[in-house]
Amino acid sequence: MNDLSEILNGRELSRQDIVRLLSPLNKREHCQILEKGYEVKENAIGRKTYLRGLIEFSNFCRKDCLYCGIRCGNIKAGRYSMSDDEILQCVELASRNRINGVVLQSGEMVNSYFIKRVSSIIKRIRKVTNDEFRVTLSLGEQSPETYREWFDAGAQRYLLRIETSSEELYRRIHPDDELHRYELRLKCLEKIKETGYQTGTGVMIGLPFQTVENLADDLLFIKRMDIDMVGMGPYVEHFDTPLYGYKDLLLPIMDRFDLSVRMIAVLRIMMPFINIASAAALEALVPMGREFGLKAGANVLMPNLTPVIYRKQYLLYENKPYIDIETEEVLESLDRRINMIGEEIAYDDYGDSKHFRMRKHIKQYQ
Ligand code: 5AD
């Protein structure tokens, strides 16, 4: 037994253990961690992969995050907003393919027209699917009232990545103004949880200036916040963003990829019952990247249902996968891709976070 086995099979992971697991290791040790991540996932959830259809319905954004391709300062990004009917067509496509949940994602907007519109879309989705559908929102920082309004309209899950749990690093990758405050983001995440959503967060991995200690703290943050679902993936540079200027500081592609899947594995070991998505950004670095994520312990895949005509304009980072492959084609190949790695797609299954159910259950008896 080597010392890694001791860490992996022993007590709760300490910060020091996590740092060790995320630090450079040889290939065999790296695989040992991924295998453990998958073993924990298999025992807690089974060999099942849950699907959610991703709808990137608008790329208008008021934020100016230094890493993101659709930041408002990027005048090269053509802007679009899908119509309600187009969004509902995506929902229909999901239903036809036995995917009973979607993620509504867009740039961050807070005006009252946007807020009302989202409420009405949520209600229409619930209606056309006879309430047999899960709606996840990924619409950024909003007021507590807005989180409540959308929850009451019928959305059950909310995803707000903290991006990094280090306030100092957060400041380095965002403009220094009132719109981009770490504290506010944290407050929003807390509000989302308080409102009653299945709560999701996540971070980017391999950012310039980011250390292994930062990443260990990210995982501890996720654990401390008792998060139900996580989407985290590698940082992928985008040419038309200020952070591109630091590309020479980045880890080589393969190292960034390995670190990202290792983060998934370690998080799975720490939190066996949460939902972890295998991020599309993994595939921007390595072909079949998302399958590797699943084999490290992720259990959710979010096929992109956004119509191909808009997909090119929702470029958060370069090399985005499936940019011009029709949705039907992607969905058709999904079964094969998932079966190939020994997993099965859990069709017609909401795939609610088991962790969320356990959390609610415990609360009931407190
Ligand atoms: N690389 C990787 N992920 C990115 N995101 C935004 N820009 C990038 C990038 N350059 C992620 C952020 C955001 C999510 C919607 O996309 O984490 O929360």
Q: What's residue 176's pLDDT?
A: 97
Cβ atoms within 10 Å of 308's Cβ, excluding its own: 14
The rounded Å distance from CA 317 to ligand 1 centre is 7
71 closest CA partner among 2, 145, 173:
173
User: Separation of 305 CA from ligand 1 center, angstroms?
Assistant: 18
Mapped onto helix, strand or coil, the DSSP state of residue 334 is: helix
What is the tens place of the pLDDT at every residue in 182-226?
999 999 999 999 999 999 999 999 999 999 999 999 999 999 999
Ligand 1 pocket mutation, candidates 55, 67, 103, 105, criterion most atoms within 8 A of CB: 67
Closest residue by Cα to residue 65 from 201, 161, 191: 161
CA of 68 relative to ligand 1 center, distance in Å? 6
Q: pLDDT tens digits, residue range 95-150?
A: 999 999 999 999 999 999 999 999 999 999 999 999 999 999 999 999 999 999 99
First to last CA, the chain: 41
Averaged pLDDT score across all residues of the chain: 96
Q: In a 3-state reduction of DSSP, which class is residue 58?
A: strand
Q: Which amino acid is at 275?
A: N
Global pTM exceeds 0.95: yes
Residue 133 belongs to what H/E stretch?
none
Report pLDDT for 222. Answer: 98
Protein residues whose CB sits closer than 6 Å to any atom of ligand 1: 67-68, 161, 163, 204, 235-236, 238, 281, 316-317
Q: What is the pLDDT of residues 287-316, one digit of tens each?
A: 999 999 999 999 999 999 999 999 999 999
